[in-house]
Amino acid sequence: MSAVHYLEVYFKIDSTQNYNEVLLAELQYFDFESFVETEKGIKAYIRVESSASFEFDVARDLPISSSLCDNISYEVSTIEQTNWNAKWEENFDPIYVEDQIEIRAPFHETKNFPHQLIITPKMSFGTGHHQTTQLMLRHILALDLKQKRVLDMGSGTGVLGIFALIREAREVIAVDIEPWCIENCLENAQLNEVKLTAIHSDCVPQDQGLFDVVIANINRNVLIEQLKDYRKVLNDSGVLLMSGFYKEDLEHIEKKCVEYQFKFSEFYELDRWIGVKYVL
């Protein structure tokens, strides 16, 4: 695979009103993987091949936001792995989910929650800070995973797959397109004294047998594209957990899920992001 890196695209809004939600809704239809809101607009993160450049026409690609705002501009910067590490160590605070889960770095003191995860993210997304990660952790917490086989798509730091193992899953296969995510995932598994298999790929593995649970915290477009393959690798009583999209996207996700015989079970919501559970 070609070398890839992340770009931070900072969309700045010139307006007397806050149109961040409108801008976020439009940006969801592109290949951005993560967003951070600021007082001036939205920082969006996208994976790009090292030889590629970022091209975006604001007036053409953001027609609604452009019509509402006086002006929308953007700045592009490369997210270097070393800079990302330094920024993380400087700003990373522990995360607490449902008064049950504590996510911390090795240098943090523990508060002795029932479930503890030690994460060093490097360049990988998935420290637990993002709403979607917390939503998926809530779903995993509610599932009986004892002796279950789990596939973690877009594993990042491995936080979700590691928590599945802490919840007594029999085996976890973690898949990510980024080579440093695979390295980071294995390091974090070792820190948490669990073992998982990490695969460097952008596809759903077809040679790893059937799974009881598929976890996919990616983005709306990738989820829809891969739904057919999730169905192929799930057993007949399987569970699909997904996040990476907003509540208003659920109707579109639901149509595709019905097409592949997935039945809606429940969802959790946090700041308009949702984590949804489907069953077969």
Rounded Cα–Cα distance for residues 120 and 192 (Å): 11
Q: What is the pLDDT of residue 85?
A: 54
- The pLDDT tens digits of the residues spanning 42-93 come to 888 887 765 556 788 999 999 988 888 889 999 998 876 555 555 555 556 7
The distance between the two most distant Cα atoms of the chain, rounded to a whole number of Å, is 56
Question: Which segments of the chain belong to CATH 3.30.70?
Answer: 4-79
CATH class, 4-79 region: alpha beta
Cβ density class 28-56: b for 16+ within 10 Å, e for less? beeebbbbeeeeebbbbebebeeeeeeee
Kind of pairing between the strands at 263-270 and 273-279: antiparallel
Distance CA 16, CA 18 (A): 7
Which residues belong to CATH 3.40.50.150 in the chain? 95-279
pLDDT tens string 184-220 = 899 999 999 999 999 999 899 999 999 999 999 988 8
**Closest Cα to residue 56, out of 15, 23, 84?**
23
Q: CATH class for domain 95-279?
A: alpha beta
pLDDT at 134: 92
Structure tokens at 106: 């090795």
Using DSSP bridges, classify how beta strands 234-246 and 211-217 pair: parallel, antiparallel or unpaired.
parallel
Range 12-37 average pLDDT? 81
Phi, psi (degrees; rounded to nearest 5) at 20? -55, -40
pLDDT at 186: 95
Q: What is the pTM of this model?
A: 0.74
Separation between Cα atoms, residue 278 and residue 5, nearest integer Å: 32
